[in-house]
């Protein structure tokens, strides 16, 4: 079983129109605090990002926000346990990845997709061995997960490497999947 001390959550800077996304953000925050898992995230005060951070803080948990200075002037959450401002987006992501023991992608847009794709790719090529999961609220990621399955079917992604990315529509189940992840990557070029 993995020890998840700090979990990085990628998610939207907007709340979106589906109330299930907000409900799962709150549910995940409750689970993190109950299990003494700190939240690492993009440092914003708006949308799902702000909601999960505020909920963790209200429950007495730890929140580390990491945001580029260029965004921090407008959207940084100033009430966090720790707010780290970086010079660039690349530095932000590197620090988020370094400080975390695992990753969850909640619903979000292009930024969320880019961040989770990068950590999943890095795991696939052996740059880290941290679990990666999708919180598939209301089937939000079902098309993306089906695409990964299609990549396996078409011989473009090894089945063992597809298993490096887990998913659930339930936050508690997803946390259990991340904790119990023992999948090892298969070298991509062999």
CATH code, domain with 153? 3.40.50.450
Whether residue 186 lies inside any domain: the answer is no
Instruction: With beta carbons less than 8 A apart as the criterion, state whether 62 and 81 touch.
Output: yes
Segment 78-107 mean pLDDT: 96
Residue 131, class by beta-carbon neighbours within 10 Å (0-12 exposed, 13-18 middle, 19+ buried)? buried
26-41 residue pLDDT tens? 999 999 999 999 999 9
Assigned domain for 45 exists: yes
Domain that holds residue 168: 6-178
Evaluate whether residue 10 is within a structural domain. Answer: yes
Q: Is residue 1 part of a domain?
A: no
| Inside any domain, residue 13 | yes
Residue 127 lies in a domain: yes
For the chain, how many structural domains are there in total? 1
State which H helix or E strand residue 132 sits in. strand 132-135
Looking up tokens 């490497």 gives: 161
What are the helix and strand counts (H, E) for the chain? 8, 7
User: Which residue, among 35, 9, 185, has the nearest Cα to 107 in the 3D structure?
Assistant: 9
pLDDT digits (tens, 9 = 90+) for 99-147: 999 999 999 999 999 999 999 999 999 999 999 999 999 999 999 999 9
Q: Report the pLDDT value the prediction gives residue 75, as an integer from 0 to 100.
A: 85
pTM higher than 0.85 for the full model? Answer: yes
Tell whether 105 is covered by a domain: yes
Using pLDDT thresholds of 50, 70 and 90, give the confidence band for residue 187: confident
> Which ranges in 38-141 belong to alpha helices (H)?
47-58, 69-75, 89-99, 110-124
Name the 3-class secondary structure at 25: helix
């Amino acid at each position: 079983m993995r020890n998840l001390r700090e979990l990085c959550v990628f998610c939207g800077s907007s709340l979106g129109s589906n109330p299930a996304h907000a409900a799962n953000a709150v549910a995940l925050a409750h689970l993190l605090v109950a299990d003494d898992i700190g939240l690492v995230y993009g440092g914003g005060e708006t949308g799902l990002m702000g909601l999960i951070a505020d909920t963790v803080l209200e429950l007495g948990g730890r929140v580390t926000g990491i945001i580029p200075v260029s965004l921090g002037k407008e959207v940084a959450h100033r009430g966090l346990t720790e707010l780290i401002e970086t010079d660039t987006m690349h530095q932000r992501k590197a620090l988020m990845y370094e400080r975390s023991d695992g990753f969850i992608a909640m619903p979000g847009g292009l930024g969320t997709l880019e961040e989770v794709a990068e950590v999943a790719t890095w795991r696939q090529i052996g740059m880290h061995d941290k679990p990666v999961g999708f919180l598939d609220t209301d089937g939000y990621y079902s098309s993306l997960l089906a695409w990964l399955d299609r990549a396996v079917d078409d011989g473009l992604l090894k089945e063992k490497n597809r298993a490096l990315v887990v998913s659930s529509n339930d936050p508690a189940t997803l946390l259990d999947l991340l904790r119990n992840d023992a999948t090892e990557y298969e070298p991509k070029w062999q």
